[in-house]
Amino acid sequence: MSTQMPAFSRLIRFLGRDNRIYYGDALLPPGVNDVAAATRARIIDGDIFAQHCVSDSAVEIRRLLPPLAPSHVGTVRCLGLNYADHARETGMPRPKFPVLFYKPATALNGPKDPIPVPPMAQETVGLDYECELVVVIGKRCTNVTQQDALNCVLGYSVGNDFSHRDWQLHRGGGQWSLGKSFDGWAPFGPAIVSTDLIPDPQKLKIWTKVNGETLQNGTTADMIFGVRETVAFLSQGVTLMPGDVIFTGTPAGVGLGRSPPLSLKNGDVVEVGLERVGTCTNKVEFETKSSARL
């Protein structure tokens, strides 16, 4: 399978000081590796999934947005129980095949945006965090082999598979998605880092901090199904499209697995981070009431 590396290094989508939305290649200060700290970016012209170029024109970043525009996102796939230490802490058997569920595209959120919690998710405890390596598909592929799987990847982000354990495990009729699919419950970013900067996604540190305290501290080397296996498996009989997003599971240390269990509260600040990518830092915000949005 032929492959063409993207022109960008750290793809971001952002609101500029002129109130226009751009795709750009983030410019990092010397010694800084967290793309969330970028203040300027070179504008990207063209199709980020095909022919594009990084211009010499740099603009100031007013606010980082989700790395992909809603119109560029196909499906949001997620894996459960994909870290050996997390499977052990849940007491569930190690899966023989990837455990797949979906989130709606409306769950995607920006790297610095609040996570809204609707009233129905405030009724009981169980709000939880999950730091995850996020894979973004860059080209159409079906029945791809593990050998060629990384050629289909545009790049990598970090995300938070925000969850409500009661709705996930007890109120959802056995389906996990209900407790994971509310609007804004999949923040990711701060960038999509290209595969030339991350040639091996199985050698990355990954973590979660809540109000500054480290609660998850793992490595993608502990994934049961690595990125190659995941992309190849998900493409069997199913076409993966440019812009498809894959959350690849979380390491040990989730709130549910702690003793006593930890449940996030209104106002908590959750940071998820991935080595060579950066951080997403999101504040938990309880909504006061449900209102129709047309």
Q: What is the mean pLDDT of the chain?
A: 94
Nearest Cα residue to 159 out of 94, 86, 261, 79: 79
Asked if residue 49 and residue 83 are part of one domain, the reply reads: no
Same domain for 241 and 168? Answer: yes
Per-residue pLDDT tens for 196-238?
999 999 999 999 999 999 999 999 999 999 999 999 999 999 9
| Ramachandran class of 192: left when φ > 0, alpha when ψ lies in -120 to 50, beta otherwise | beta
The tens digit of pLDDT for each residue in 105-143 reads: 999 999 999 999 999 999 888 999 999 999 999 999 999
- Full domain range(s) for residue 122: 70-286
Confidence band for 7, pLDDT divided at 50, 70 and 90: confident
Residue 291: the pLDDT is 62
Q: Of 32-36, 79-83, 92-96, 289-293, which range is least confident?
A: 289-293
Residue 50 lies in a domain: yes
- pLDDT tier at 3, thresholds 50, 70, 90: very low
Residue 294 — very low, low, confident or very high, per pLDDT cuts 50/70/90? low
Say what the pTM is.
Answer: 0.95
Q: Are residues 59 and 93 in the same domain?
A: no
Mean pLDDT across 145-171? 94
Tens digits of residue pLDDT in 37-84: 999 999 999 999 999 999 998 999 999 999 999 999 999 999 999 999
Residue 184 confidence (pLDDT) above 90:
yes
Domain boundary among 64, 86, 107: 64
Same-domain pairing of 166 and 276: yes
Q: Does 294 reside within a domain?
A: no
Asked whether residue 242 is assigned to any structural domain, the reply reads yes
Q: Name the domain count of the chain.
A: 2
Q: Specify the pLDDT at position 124.
A: 85
- Asked which of 64, 85, 109 is the last residue of a domain, the reply is 64
Q: Has residue 56 been placed in a domain?
A: yes
Sign of CA dihedral 49, 54, 55, 58: positive
Asked if 14 and 92 sit in the same domain, the reply is: no
- The CATH number of the domain holding residue 173 is 3.90.850.10
Interval 256-268 mean pLDDT: 96
Report in angstroms the alpha-carbon separations of 291 from 115, 148, 185, 220, 287: 17, 47, 18, 40, 10
Q: Based on the domain organization, do 15 and 159 belong to the same domain?
A: no
Q: Are residues 119 and 18 in the same domain?
A: no
